[in-house]
């Protein structure tokens, strides 16, 4: 009886909250004869669905809850300052840490421009001020370079010719993809030449049996998702920036995102790469084999190297099949301990169908509801300290529903969950994902953000957030969200504008705290410019020296993405 009461509480919330949304017939049909004897359905929504045959067919054939609004979040964001988004151009949160311009780098002259025009034609050589302003500015509007030239090659051979030339002239370059990076890695620090490979955007092959996709590195992630959708496959990674970020950028940052919990990191999914080195040498490592133990597996050096070792021009990636049954629950917990316990329960009880486990705290939720149009609190009856999104993906609707239902009922019963709702159609699932994926955009609209992306033991993670709140008092809003299932905390400190006094309270405290836990100061965003001088907090001096030595071998003149990833002193000692 107690069991039934708990379950009906969740489901009542569910139908009340969703009563004005279109519902998924297949969902209702599959769970109505549940073992608990409960019915999730209401006649009104069922009848409504039967009339809407077109929509019904769409979901039953492809019962996939696309994340986000169907387009990447960046499609909703103006590139330039408008819509209440403030601009804070600061190269680094602390200007004192910007390395001097390397005097050995040349500056571009008219002969250089003529050469590039000869290789690329006029269209691939961009000097237009507005376009350059865009390319010189990062997504957070925090870093701004002063490049006077952007090159847009269309072929690997062109990339090779450009790099060969730049290397011989000692012209520094910044590889740029979708420019959605969050650590100042994709924009020039000074006048580096921007090489954007967005024009290299063709799918080269797809093997329907193995699921192996080979494409050019400038393909936008969301376009690859759409391509695979037609083939019955999905990309093994998904992130809020999918509408703009490129697969080459994803590989170069070793992007994590929402599916890492299920499909692992790109070090596992990427099977091969084509990379152009600083001197123009093309490394063909574009294998399509799952097993290949022939010497050093060099492609791994380039995964996550943030454009500092070479330009990725082609990618071969293993993609998982699209499964027919996807469910998404938006849940509330009163305290962080309950979030952890729910994670353990989800891993054991949902097992093989668990495909995402994300969290946001009340501060993050409040910001999203304040800034993002058209979003409503899915659990409006009261405020909750923590929100958790649990997604399941499997191949048998009835089995998956039964598992999820049993899990949720038990979680309510044991008091771990205080409220919750299960998405009942694709629109609702999208709006739940939009809440989670919309936090960075909401932060951007709120003002300045000090953004930290940490790997920490989950049981310690939220202690840092609380300590930070104590340190900063009312001076800032400390916002936490992230990929809890992967031990990845996004700690964001939001203020009206950047202020060195606030920064001094945050850093080095945040890095020292992380280091003490043997955590990582970059779980997924990378090091870029922001953390090049902080690398030692997560890596020993010897490790950093080996990294610098590798950089020296592959890029002796240091033209590739200078001032990023590695601390300048480590490079000069090598």
Per CB under 6 A, which of residues 68..107 are in contact with ligand MLT? none
In the set 136, 179, 424, 477, which binds ligand FAD (CB under 6 A)?
A: 179
In the set 68, 72, 440, 567, which binds ligand MLT (CB under 6 A)?
A: 440
Residue 490 partner contact from ligand MLT, ligand FAD, none using kind-dependent CB cut-offs of 5 to 8 Å: ligand MLT
Residue 360 partner contact from ligand MLT, ligand FAD, none using kind-dependent CB cut-offs of 5 to 8 Å: none
Is the Cβ of residue 116 or residue 432 nearer to ligand MLT in the bound state?
A: 432
Task: Return phi, psi of residue 39, to 5°.
Answer: -115, 125
Is the Cβ of residue 7 or residue 521 nearer to ligand FAD in the bound state?
A: 521
Is the Cβ of residue 59 or residue 174 nearer to ligand FAD in the bound state?
A: 174
Residue 246 partner contact from ligand MLT, ligand FAD, none using kind-dependent CB cut-offs of 5 to 8 Å: ligand FAD
Please calculate the CA angle 234-226-140 and round it to the nearest 5 degrees.
Answer: 95
Residue 255 partner contact from ligand MLT, ligand FAD, none using kind-dependent CB cut-offs of 5 to 8 Å: ligand FAD
Minimum Å distance from CB 50 to ligand MLT?
Answer: 38
Query: Does residue 528 interact with ligand MLT by CB under 6 A?
Result: no
Confirm if 506 and 531 have CB atoms less than 8 A apart. no
Residue 186 partner contact from ligand MLT, ligand FAD, none using kind-dependent CB cut-offs of 5 to 8 Å: ligand FAD
Site string for ligand MLT, 232-251 (x = CB under 6 A): --------x-----------
Confirm if 183 and 528 have CB atoms less than 8 A apart. yes
Query: Which range touches ligand FAD (CB under 6 A), out of 8-16, 238-246, 334-342, 365-373?
Result: 238-246
Minimum Å distance from CB 358 to ligand MLT?
Answer: 8
Q: What is the DSSP string of 402-450?
A: HHHHHHHHHHHHTTS-SEEEE--SHHHHHHHHHHHHTHHHHHHHHSEEE
Per CB under 6 A, which of residues 505..534 are in contact with ligand FAD? 524-525, 528
Site string for ligand FAD, 127-156 (x = CB under 6 A): ------------x-----------------
Confirm if 92 and 140 have CB atoms less than 8 A apart. no
Minimum Å distance from CB 239 to ligand MLT?
Answer: 6
Partners of 422 in the beta sheet? 329
Query: Does residue 163 interact with ligand FAD by CB under 6 A?
Result: no
Site string for ligand FAD, 473-502 (x = CB under 6 A): ------------------------------
How far is the C-alpha of 446 from the C-alpha of 449, rounded, in Å?
A: 8
Residue 306 partner contact from ligand MLT, ligand FAD, none using kind-dependent CB cut-offs of 5 to 8 Å: ligand FAD
End-to-end CA distance of the chain: 70
Is the Cβ of residue 18 or residue 448 nearer to ligand MLT in the bound state?
A: 448
Size of residue set near ligand MLT by CB under 6 A: 5
Kindly state the greatest CA–CA separation across the chain. 82
Which DSSP letter does residue 62 get?
S
Q: Sign of dihedral through CA atoms 49, 55, 56, 59?
A: negative
Which DSSP letter does residue 206 get?
E
In the set 311, 365, 491, 506, which binds ligand FAD (CB under 6 A)?
A: 311
Cβ neighbours of residue 423 closer than 8 Å, sequence gap 6 or more: 18, 65, 327, 328, 329, 330, 429, 432
Q: Which structure tokens are listed for 35?
A: 């073992």
Minimum Å distance from CB 260 to ligand FAD?
Answer: 8
Per CB under 6 A, which of residues 312..351 are in contact with ligand FAD? 312
Confirm if 563 and 529 have CB atoms less than 8 A apart. yes
Locus of tokens 């990427």: 270
Query: 23: left (phi > 0), else alpha (psi -120 to 50), else beta?
Result: beta
- How many helices (H) and strands (E) in the chain? 22, 16
Minimum Å distance from CB 156 to ligand FAD?
Answer: 11
Partners of 285 in the beta sheet? 273
Confirm if 229 and 319 have CB atoms less than 8 A apart. no
Cis peptide bond prior to 508, omega within 30° of 0: yes
Size of residue set near ligand FAD by CB under 6 A: 37
Query: Does residue 180 interact with ligand FAD by CB under 6 A?
Result: yes
Give the other-Cβ count within 10 Å of 54's Cβ: 6
Query: Does residue 186 interact with ligand FAD by CB under 6 A?
Result: yes
Which DSSP letter does residue 346 get?
I
Per CB under 6 A, which of residues 466..495 are in contact with ligand MLT? 490
Is the Cβ of residue 178 or residue 240 nearer to ligand MLT in the bound state?
A: 240
CA distances from 21 to 420, 428, 431 (A): 16, 7, 11
Residues that bind ligand MLT (CB under 6 A): 240, 439-440, 453, 490
Residues that bind ligand FAD (CB under 6 A): 73, 139, 174-182, 185-186, 197, 217, 239-241, 245-246, 248-250, 252-253, 255-257, 306-307, 311-312, 440, 524-525, 528, 561
């Amino acid at each position: 009886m107690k069991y039934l009461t708990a379950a009906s509480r969740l489901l009542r919330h569910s139908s009340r909250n969703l009563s004005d949304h279109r519902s998924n017939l297949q969902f209702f049909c599959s769970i109505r004869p549940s073992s608990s004897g409960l019915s999730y359905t209401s006649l009104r929504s069922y009848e409504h669905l039967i009339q809407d045959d077109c929509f019904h067919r769409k979901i039953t054939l492809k019962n996939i809850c696309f994340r986000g609004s169907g387009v990447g979040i960046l499609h909703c964001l103006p590139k330039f300052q408008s819509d209440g988004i403030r601009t804070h151009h600061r190269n680094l949160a602390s200007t004192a840490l910007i390395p001097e311009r390397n005097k050995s780098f040349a500056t571009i002259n008219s002969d250089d421009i003529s050469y590039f025009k000869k290789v690329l034609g006029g269209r691939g050589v961009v000097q237009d001020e507005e376009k350059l302003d865009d390319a010189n500015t990062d997504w957070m509007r925090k870093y701004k370079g002063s490049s006077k030239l952007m090159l847009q090659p269309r072929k690997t051979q062109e990339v090779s010719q450009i790099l060969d030339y730049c290397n011989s002239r000692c012209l520094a370059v910044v590889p740029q993809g979708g420019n959605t990076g969050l650590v100042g890695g994709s924009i020039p620090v000074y006048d580096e030449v921007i090489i954007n490979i967005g024009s290299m955007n063709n799918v080269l092959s797809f093997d329907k049996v193995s699921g192996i996709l080979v494409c050019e590195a400038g393909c936008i992630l969301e376009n690859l998702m759409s391509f695979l959708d037609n083939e019955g496959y999905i990309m093994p990674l998904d992130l809020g920036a999918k509408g703009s970020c490129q697969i080459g950028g994803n590989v170069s940052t070793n992007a994590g995102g929402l599916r890492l919990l299920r499909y692992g990191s790109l070090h596992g999914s990427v099977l091969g790469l084509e990379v152009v080195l600083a001197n123009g040498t093309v490394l063909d490592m574009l294998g399509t084999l799952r097993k290949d133990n022939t010497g050093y597996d060099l492609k791994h050096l380039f995964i996550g190297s943030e454009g500092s070792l070479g330009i990725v021009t082609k990618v071969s990636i293993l993609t998982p099949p699209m499964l027919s049954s996807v469910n998404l629950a938006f849940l509330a917990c009163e305290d962080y301990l309950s979030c952890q316990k729910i994670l353990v329960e989800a891993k054991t009880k949902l097992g093989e169908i668990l495909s995402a486990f994300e969290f946001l705290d009340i501060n993050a939720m409040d910001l999203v509801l304040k800034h993002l149009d058209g979003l409503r609190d899915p659990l409006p009856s009261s405020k909750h300290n923590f929100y958790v999104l649990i997604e399941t993906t499997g191949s048998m609707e009835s089995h998956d529903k039964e598992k999820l239902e049993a899990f949720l009922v038990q979680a309510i019963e044991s008091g771990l969950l205080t409220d919750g709702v299960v998405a009942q159609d694709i629109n609702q699932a999208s709006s739940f994902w939009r809440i989670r994926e919309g936090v960075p955009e909401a932060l951007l609209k709120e003002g300045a953000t000090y953004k930290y992306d940490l790997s920490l033991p989950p049981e310690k993670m939220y202690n840092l957030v609380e300590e930070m709140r104590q340190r900063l008092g009312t001076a800032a809003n400390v916002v936490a969200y992230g990929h809890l299932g992967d031990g990845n905390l996004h700690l964001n400190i939001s203020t009206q504008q950047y202020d060195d006094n606030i920064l001094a309270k945050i850093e080095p405290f945040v890095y020292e705290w992380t280091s003490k836990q043997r955590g990582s100061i970059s779980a997924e965003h990378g090091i870029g410019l922001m953390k090049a001088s902080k690398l030692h907090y997560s890596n020993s001096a010897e490790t950093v020296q080996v990294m610098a030595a590798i950089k020296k071998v592959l890029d002796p003149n240091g033209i590739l993405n200078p001032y990023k990833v590695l601390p300048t002193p480590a490079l000069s000692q090598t």
